[in-house]
Amino acid sequence: MSTSVTESTSKDVVLKDDTDVLKWTLDNAASLGSTRVFLVHFFPPINHIPTPAGRLTMSQLNEDQVRLYVNEESNKRSNLLQKYVNLCNDAKVTVETMLIETNCTSKLILDLIPALSITHLVIGIKRHSRCAAACASYFISPTNFRD
């Protein structure tokens, strides 16, 4: 992952979930060569692992079983992000990915804004999310953090 700082005239965009949101961002908020898109995927810490005997805590399984499950989940996340990376590459926009394990998504988003010098934030919400309808109007367009 590159940590280079972009020129002050560039737009940095962060988004979460949903290819439609990424497509909208690439069409409306991103410009060739001057935009970095940060694809940030937040996921909860793994506390339980599904097994034929039910969901068991990590301490109830041996190291190999835990490692296998964690690797499978990591591969799923990487594969999920790859389609988003491909969309950015096709649009010739610089893309960086972050996989962050947390139960506190909102705080980490707020922490990422100054840490990455984010100037526009676009967030996608899963369609089946309970809060999608309530939050949708808030996240429709990019927010400029320089104002």
Looking up residue 27, the CATH number of its domain turns out to be 3.40.50.620
pLDDT tens column, 34-77: 778 888 888 899 999 999 999 999 999 999 999 999 999 999 99
Domain, as residue range, for 135: 11-45+87-144
CB under 8 Å, gap of 24 or more: what pairs does 46-54 form? 46/70, 46/73, 46/101
DSSP element (H, E) containing 48: strand 48-51
With respect to residue 74, please indicate whether it lies within any of the assigned structural domains.
no
With respect to residue 51, please indicate whether it lies within any of the assigned structural domains.
no
Look at the chain and report how many structural domains it folds into: 1
- Other Cβ atoms less than 10 A from the Cβ of 104: the count is 11
> Which token pair is 86?
């491909």
- Other Cβ atoms less than 10 A from the Cβ of 37: the count is 27
pLDDT tens column, 97-121: 999 998 888 888 889 989 988 888 8
With respect to residue 52, please indicate whether it lies within any of the assigned structural domains.
no
With respect to residue 95, please indicate whether it lies within any of the assigned structural domains.
yes
